[in-house]
Amino acid sequence: MPQNGTYAEYVKVPVENIVEKPAHLSWEEAASLPLAGLTAYRALVTKGNVQKGEKVLIPGAGGGVASFLIQFAHALGAEVYVTSSKEDKINKAMELGAVGGVNYTEENWVEQLLDLTGGIDLSIDSVGGDSFKSLIALGKIGSRIVNFGSTRGPVNNLFLPSLTLKEMSIIGSTMGSADDFSKMIKLVNKKEIHPVIDRAYPLREVKKALDRIEKGQHSGKIVLTINEI
């Protein structure tokens, strides 16, 4: 990443970090790939080792990384399920390729999801907190959980036998490598994946963009357009 951030008209990066824009994408769509797309690809493919036919759970559908996770997993032949607090975000996830989803504000959402799936092979989590324990309850024997964030804080009072008796794996992940990025671009090109853009704001309205993210009003990525200062 550039040393002084990217909220600017120009940035300086090493030439080896420059990648050709996929021809089927707009500049706004392509702008969402280097962080959100890369984070999703590494968690799902490099770390999660997703396989065709596996049942994949993506909690908290609606954000930029989640929308990439849904599309990538679907493109790779997985059976995708989501959770969200809003029905419209579940419906949007299904438009992107998810098979179904449940509202996690409902008291029996774990039971609903178990009835729907029969158990999960791979969960990709960025939430953490107490809901992390539900991912263990949802996992099949030998399943995996990949975590790349903890927006709800630490996992307290985790009962380890619930994990060990299922022989489950918990795997940490972060943004990704140059090799991950190259492979992600190949997948985006091959499957002609279009990133979900919630809104594009001119650079002068960056505060509005950040407010929309903070309030959880977005579905997909928010981008800044630097040609409109």
Query: Which CATH number do you get for residue 157?
Result: 3.90.180.10
| Inside any domain, residue 40 | yes
User: 81 versus 218: which is more confidently predicted?
Assistant: 81
| Inside any domain, residue 3 | no
Q: What percent of the chain has pLDDT over 90?
A: 75
- Give the mean pLDDT of the chain: 93
63, β-bridge pairs? 61
pLDDT of 1 over the 60 cut:
no
pLDDT of 3 over the 70 cut:
no
User: 130 versus 210: which is more confidently predicted?
Assistant: 210
Q: What percent of the chain has pLDDT over 70?
A: 97
Where does residue 99 fall: left (phi above 0), alpha (psi -120 to 50 degrees), or beta otherwise? alpha
Q: Do 222 and 212 touch, CB atoms closer than 8 A?
A: yes
pLDDT of 125 over the 80 cut:
yes
113-126 in b/e burial notation, b at 16+ Cβ within 10 A? beeebeebbbbbbb
SS3 assignment, position 206: helix
SS3 assignment, position 123: strand
Q: Considering its fold, how many domains does the chain have in total? A: 1
Which range marks the domain in which residue 69 is found? 15-225
Residue 181's pLDDT is 96
The arithmetic mean of pLDDT across residues 75-103, rounded, is: 96
Structure confidence at residue 127 as a pLDDT band (50, 70, 90):
confident
| Inside any domain, residue 2 | no
The arithmetic mean of pLDDT across residues 124-135, rounded, is: 92
Residue 206's pLDDT is 93
Counting every residue written for the chain, the total comes to: 229
Least confident of 2-16, 141-155, 185-199: 2-16
Question: Which residues are CB-contacts of 130 (< 8 A; sequence separation ≥ 6)?
Answer: 152, 155, 156
pLDDT of 2 over the 70 cut:
no
Q: Select from 121, 118, 85, 126 the least CA-distant residue to 102.
A: 85
| Inside any domain, residue 128 | yes
Structure confidence at residue 82 as a pLDDT band (50, 70, 90):
very high
pLDDT of 6 over the 70 cut:
yes
